[in-house]
Chain A
Amino acid sequence: MDRLKRRVEQFIALALVLDTLLTYIFLYLPIGVLVLYSFSASRYALVWGGFSLDAYRRLLTDPEIAPALVNSILVASSATAIATVLGTALALALERGRVRWHRGIEILSYLPIVIPEIVMAVGLLLFFAQAVRPLLSIGGLSVSPLPTVIVGHVAFSISYVMVVVRARLRDLDKSLEEAAFDLGATSWQVLRRVTLPLLAPAILSGALLAFTLSLDDFYVTYFSTTGGSGFKTLPLYLYALQGRAAIPPQMNAVATLMLFTSLTLIALALLFHHRIRRA
């Protein structure tokens, strides 16, 4: 009996190891192939043409990549900061506040998640070109791409932040806030000392989600520039690399560099986390 039990346990352990192994292979093998092909000499991303660092050379000597990277980070961090504040406020209002037309606002705030991105993108372009530009031109100003793109990204990020924060808020024990009120705290103090600290993990994950979405975004960025600026984020830069057909090998190189950057960042974060825990 005991032996059988041990056998079963051994089998389960083995199955788990195998499963983990397969999962990792499934996740990382394609990425491995991509990294390998970034060293190909071919003009095509999917063809092996012998070992070469050409793709990296072409990429790193391209004067457009640095501004694109800076734009991406600038847009993503600004949009994340604004969307996190607004999204958290919206979640608080919907969950804790007494809001008129509560239901309507709730439905509207889910819209950016539900509607196809391209529809939202073209809508933003119409808005900037037909409403904002004429208004600004009255004051002698013109539309510049960085603010419009940030506004576009904020517009869709708010919803994601709101959803994440609101889910956490709903699970939060209301009695903690009520206890603070009973002890004489003002609503501002309750928000700062009780609610926000408890929400911090959700706000952070909402912010991370917004940051990732913003960094990845193509359509909203593409249509939020009202034209003639040459403004490019990293995804727009990659789009410009592509010809009428054919994926150029620099794509693989960009992907590889991004992969190693994020791996380094994750490693650093883990290291940092451990240090803090130990201290």
Chain B
Amino acid sequence: MTLTRRLTALAMLSLIGLGACTGKQAPPELHLFIWANYIAPEVYQLFEQEFGVKVIEENFDSNETLRSKLQAGATGYDIIVPSDYTVEALIAQGLLAELDLSQIPNFQHISPRFRGLFYDPHNRYSIPYLWGTTGIGYNASKIETPPATWAELFDPARLERYSNRVSMLDDPRETIGAALKYLGYSVNSTDPHALEAAKNLLLAQKPYLARYDSETYDDFLLTGDLVIAHGWSGEFAKARLENPDIHYVIPREGGVIWADNLAIPKSSQRVDLAHKFIDFLLRPHINATIVNYLRYPSTNEAAQAYILPEILHDPALYPPEEIMEKLEWIRDIGDAIALYEAVWDEVKNR
């Protein structure tokens, strides 16, 4: 009896709670949907003070999560931060609003190299924000010769030395892409023979791997559980602050280059404010604050004056021209993605 009474009381209480939370306050809000920890925290405060608004952040952990949430009909976001090939897909699905570049004067600071990229040739929908590369990170004190080629991760004779202390990204496009690159193909190859060869290579590599890992490889490199890992440039740069023996290299066959972009979803109710925010992030010193915090290179040329020299002159983060030329973008390959998924399923499950 008392139990029912108590439960009723609880139910009443929670109903009151529901009622209290339906009313909304009125200061203008800007809603971001972004990778976790992908902006220096003080940047929000500066923007809030200058424009008298409140910035509210929600996070995703992969482009696929971002896409599935938007496609299922989530609205209310004013700024999203998709990667290159995802911009292509979002444009195709009509989910992005057209940008008004006249409201973003700081677009002039974007390096010509990053303007009009393949996924948005006239920057009608997106502006590149940060970029990076995918390659090999390692602990120099636990390795005799620094790796210089993908063979370090794929040649069994070399893998033998790091048995169970190697990781590859838990990401079909990146990891199959790395295998394709080692074999001399494009990371976007849709040739079934190339993919078959990549599959066999990955299957031969698997017994030597500690795991497929996209989230914690930098942690385990620091703890010493891994000595060599496939991963993203900025993560190794951050890990190096903790341990100077951590290094990063783009293999001589070339690696992957990617860029995360600022875009406004079509469903945004605050398009003007969103433009102001994008322009704010492109201000050179604001942009540099973010780069100095995150250790990912910026697309902003004018920001370089404020970026820490140790970042700017780090060839692992800002690769020299001859390496830049060998980097390849991951592209949306449409229905051929099924081929990749089949290979990935077989590699992961066998």
Chain A contact residues, CB within 8 Å of chain B = 42-47, 49, 74, 77-78, 80-82, 84-85, 122, 125-126, 129-130, 133, 144, 146-147, 150, 192-193, 196-197, 200, 203-204, 223, 225-230, 239-248
User: In the bound complex, do residue B219 and residue A247 qualify as a contact, i.e. CB atoms below 8 Å apart?
Assistant: yes
Q: Are B18 and A240 in contact (CB under 8 A)?
A: no
Q: How far is the CA of A32 from the CA of B296 in the complex (A)?
A: 35
Q: Is B26 an interface residue (CB 8 A)?
A: no
Contact A43 B37, beta carbon cutoff 8 Å: no
- Contact across chains for A226 and B216 when beta carbons are under 8 A apart: no
Once A and B bind, how many residue pairs between them come within 8 Å at the CB atom? 154
A244 touches B234 (CB 8 A): yes
**A47, B238: Cα distance in complex, Å:** 14
Interface presence of B349 (CB below 8 A): no
Q: Determine which of B36, B69, B234 lies in contact with A223 in the assembled complex, contact meaning CB atoms within 8 Å.
A: B69
A240→B36 contact, CB < 8 A:
yes
Asked if A46 and B220 make an inter-chain contact with CB atoms under 8 angstroms apart, the answer reads yes
Question: Top 7 nearest A-B pairs by Cβ distance?
Answer: A228-B76, A129-B73, A78-B14, A227-B74, A230-B56, A243-B37, A81-B10
Q: Determine the chain B residues whose CB is within 8 A of the CB of A84 once the complex forms.
A: 7
B235 at the interface (CB under 8 A from A): yes
What is the bound-complex CA distance between A196 and B8, given in angstroms? 14
Query: Are B75 and A226 in contact, CB atoms less than 8 angstroms apart?
Result: yes
B59 within 8 A of A: yes
Answer yes or no: B182 CB below 8 A from chain A CBs: no
Please indicate the chain A residues that have their CB under 8 angstroms from the CB of B56 in the complex.
228-230
- How distant is A133 from chain B, measured CB to nearest CB, in Å? 8
What's the Cα separation between A144 and B23 when bound, in Å?
Answer: 9
The distance in angstroms between the C-alpha atoms of A226 and B58, with both chains bound, is 11
Considering only residues 10-50 of chain B, those with a C-beta below 8 Å from chain A are: 10-11, 13-14, 17-18, 21-22, 24, 31, 33, 35-38
State whether B18 touches A246 (Cβ < 8 A): no
Contact in complex: A226, B76 (CB < 8 Å): yes
How far does the alpha carbon of A200 sit from the alpha carbon of B5 in the complex, in Å? 12
- Interface: B203 (CB within 8 A): no
Q: What are 8 inter-chain pairs, A to B, with CB distance below 8 A?
A: A45-B219, A49-B242, A77-B10, A80-B10, A85-B11, A226-B76, A244-B38, A247-B219
Contact: B75 with A44, CB < 8 Å? no
Inter-chain pairs besides A146-B17, A230-B57, 16 sampled, C-beta below 8 Å? A46-B216, A46-B220, A78-B10, A78-B17, A85-B7, A125-B73, A150-B18, A192-B4, A223-B72, A227-B31, A227-B74, A241-B36, A241-B37, A242-B215, A244-B35, A245-B235
Interface residues of B in 213-236 (CB under 8 A from A): 214-220, 222-223, 231-232, 234-235
Shortest CB distance B345–A (Å): 16
> CA A203 – CA B2 in complex, angstroms?
13
Verify B1–A245 contact, CB threshold 8 A: no
Set B57, B68, B218, B238: member contacting A240, Cβ < 8 A:
B57
Q: Is the CB of B58 within 8 A of A230?
A: yes
A82 to B7, CA, bound (A): 9
The smallest C-beta distance from B89 to any residue of chain A, in angstroms, reads: 17
Residue of A nearest to B296 (CB): A244
CA distance A165 to B74 in the complex (A): 36
Over the window 64-89 of chain B, the binary record of Cβ atoms lying under 8 Å from chain A Cβ atoms (1 yes, 0 no) is 00001100111111100000000000
A136 to B215, CA, bound (A): 39
Asked if B92 is at the interface (CB within 8 A of a chain A CB), the reply is no
Docked Cα-Cα span, A246 to B58, in Å, equals 18
**Known contacts A130-B73, A226-B75, A230-B31; A244/B232 CB under 8 A:** yes
User: Which one of A226, A242, A244 contacts B74 once the chains associate, using CB atoms below 8 Å?
Assistant: A226
